[in-house]
Structure 1
């Protein structure tokens, strides 16, 4: 069974078709990379799936239920987590308080203002922080964290609704090579342990080729390739889109 099914998805801005009849599926527990050069339509596609943009046509199905027209919060409550290209936490809060706020929201406790938030879901928040290697920093102010650690906290927040599908937009943006490989290795481990499906966009080809189970490629709004790392690396149309003629992806990846 497919966790996510995209059917003939299209979106136009001012006469320019940013996404053009795109269709693909994500299977249960699959780690799927969505790549393409700048302007390929990746972000537009991502934002339609997450409910931030309405599609002009096509269908978005999650476990058979149609997502078209739903707001991001409603989609989140269905079991779809999301991380963003630029990670952000509440700097005025501690690390654990950031995760607790996500858990409070998921439990519909936002308006229980008479009960201190710090007393709610602390044990579960600590469990989530332990999963991403940030339990020891639980009571530190978020503003003190290095950027790579902020990304880990953001991942813990994204796991607060026990997602069955995780959408990750440029999860390693702004990170050093070792940091980004460590983060994606962590995500891949969680995918395997929890059976979560993941759709992620990524510019770092070393990360994509090393970790993705499958890769789909967009160019000028159209899906031009779908396959494993070797088939994508060897695909002439993909090489043309990224480099023009005469170049290939190196085994270690390309940026």
Structure 2
């Protein structure tokens, strides 16, 4: 069953029509990659799903409930988690406190003056940190973490909201190759365990083709392909429009498979 249903999204900026009637779905337990060259409209589409941009027309539904017109915070309250290309954590807090802050908000306990914030939901925070391999660093300031560990922390923070849909904007940006593989493998495990629907944008084609269950390719504001990694890899239109020769789709030596 589809957790996310996007129908006929349209968005223009002045005289430029950035997105032209985009439609797709994301099922529970599915990792869907939304990719395309610069100017394809994928970031605009992604931000309309998350509420950072309002579409000119169209619909975004989470398990049948309309998201268009809601604020990002209201969308978060409905069960949509998000990670960012540039990590969004609180550097003055410890790793555990970062997760506890999200748990406090999720459980609507921010005004609970009778119990110090640092003592609330610590056990739950430690459980989430253990799941992403960060429990041993729970009491370290997040300001001293390596970038790959910050990405893991941000994932734990996103999971603290018990999301039904997780939006991941360039989840492996700035990470070393090994860290990229580990983070996406962890995400795939969590998707299977919790039945979360994941929509992610990514420039690293190795990451996309290794971990996405399905790929939606955009170009000039329109979807030009929607299918399994194998189907997209062999799509002549995708090869021509998105990757030129398309050689990297066929395992030929190309160095880093990254498209900007």
Q: TM-score, normalised by structure 1?
A: 0.97
Q: CA deviation at 1:112?
A: 2.3
CA deviation profile, 1:197-217 (whole Å, cap 9, x unmatched) = 101101000011011110000
Residues 39-76 of structure 1, C-alpha deviations (whole Å, 9 max, x = no match): 11111111111111110000001101111101111111
Maintained 8 Å contact 2:83/2:155: yes
Alignment of 1:134-153 (within 5 A): 134-153=134-153
Counterpart of 1:158? 158
Instruction: For residue 181 of structure 2, give the secondary structure of its aligned residue in structure 1.
Output: helix
SS of the residue 1:231 aligns to: helix
- Aligned partners of 1:123 and 1:171: how far apart in 2? 26
- Give the aligned partner of residue 232 of structure 2: 232
| Runs of 4+ with deviation above 3 angstroms | 245-248
Offset, 1:28:
1.4
- Equivalent residue, structure 1, for 2:182: 182
Q: Distance in 2 between matches of 1:130 and 1:101?
A: 17
Flag the 1:245–1:153 CA change in 2: closer, same or farther, 3 A. Answer: closer
Is 1:110 aligned to residue 110 of structure 2? yes
- In the TM superposition, 1:202-241 aligns within 5 A as 202-241=202-241
Q: Distance in 2 between matches of 1:114 and 1:44?
A: 43
Q: Residues 44 and 214 from structure 1, CA distance in 2 versus in 1: closer, same or farther, beyond 3 angstroms? A: same
Question: What is the TM-score with the length of structure 2 in the denominator?
Answer: 0.95
Deviations 1:95-142 (A, max 9, x none): 000000000011111222443110110000001101100000000010
Aligned length: 255
C-alpha RMSD over aligned residues: 1.3
Deviation at 1:156, TM superposition (A): 0.2
Match of 1:254 in 2: 257
Does the 8 A contact of 1:239 with 1:248 survive in 2? no
Three-state SS of the structure 2 residue aligned to 1:184 is helix
Q: Secondary structure at the match of 2:128?
A: helix
Structure 1: any 5+ residue segments left out of the alignment? none
